[in-house]
Structure 1
């Protein structure tokens, strides 16, 4: 698993070379496999991984915006991440148990990362995540590995949906 944490950043560097996009995606890429592994194992997305990745992404975006003299390079992704966070928070409060607080914080991080590209990327990532987790839950129920009362980790699908949106639409 440790080596997988280097694979995604390498793929990002290969696909996007050294661009603004690369710098903004690297923190998310660096923690993606660790978060997937942790959520599948424990059904938790630890703050000790989420917070540093989120802060690093914000820091990088601020630096890039200052260097380029274009504050929208920070503001647009930040707003997209904040909107993702608040929509997830609203669903969390209304649904009472649809997903956990770690998923809400992860939506902020993925909103930042996908927000580098566009609002459409953020929406696509969320849609792919919902389709993925629904398909996984149905598969588990059809194969009798789980019932409707069981919970499934949502984080891996938020991450997978985000990367699917990034690689499909770029």
Structure 2
């Protein structure tokens, strides 16, 4: 039940963050940080109730791994991925880590597949309207939620 609550929080806040990213091309750090605290509290409580400390440990390692991977991409992509995307990816990695490592891998890669049509449209329109940025938050959230529905037991 607590795992469901954690995913409901991630889903609700994730949709809100995706909308914010589309509208203003920013992902607010305070909202991401507060959500991480709530999710970690729920996961820690679930780990205590089920006597399974590995649950929260896997979530923390997965969140750190996904955030680190996206952090490296942010450093090398010349502004293609912002630090808000890195923080959001780490937050979503917490939830994906509770499902398993295949989910973490799929959830980290699926946003790129989901973003391909928009990216191609963006590239074709760039010449007529000038440079712009692609909001990646919705694809991060969509990839994590799709992974959850595909791989969770």
Shared fold (TM-score greater than 0.5)? Answer: yes
Task: Report the counterpart of residue 29 of structure 1 in structure 2.
Answer: 11
CA displacement, residues 65-90 of structure 1 (integer Å, 9 cap, x when unaligned): 12222110110111001100111111
Task: Report the counterpart of residue 85 of structure 1 in structure 2.
Answer: 67
Q: What are the equivalent positions in structure 2 for 1:52-91 lying under 5 Å apart?
A: 52-91=34-73
Most deviating of 21-30 and 109-118: 21-30
- Give the counterpart of 2:76 among 94, 99, 102: 94
Which runs of 5 or more residues in structure 2 are unaligned? none
Most deviating of 88-97 and 54-63: 88-97
8 Å Cα contact 2:3/2:46 also seen in 1 = no
Provide the aligned length of Structure 1 versus Structure 2. 150
Match of 1:105, SS state, is helix
CA displacement, residues 120-156 of structure 1 (integer Å, 9 cap, x when unaligned): 11111122101112221112334x3x34832101110
Task: Report the counterpart of residue 168 of structure 1 in structure 2.
Answer: 150
Q: Distance in 2 between matches of 1:28 and 1:48?
A: 15
Runs of 4 or more consecutive aligned structure 1 residues displaced over 6 Å after TM superposition: none
Task: Report the counterpart of residue 38 of structure 1 in structure 2.
Answer: 20
8 Å Cα contact 1:129/1:158 also seen in 2 = yes
8 Å Cα contact 2:22/2:135 also seen in 1 = yes
8 Å Cα contact 2:59/2:96 also seen in 1 = yes
Structure 1 pair 141–92 and aligned structure 2 pair: CA distance change class (3 A): closer
Task: Report the counterpart of residue 9 of structure 1 in structure 2.
Answer: none
Q: Distance in 2 between matches of 1:95 and 1:136?
A: 18
8 Å Cα contact 2:3/2:42 also seen in 1 = no
Aligned-pair CA distance for 1:26: 2.3
In the alignment, structure 1 residue 126 sits paired with structure 2 residue 113: no
Match of 1:152, SS state, is coil
Aligned-pair CA distance for 1:20: 4.2
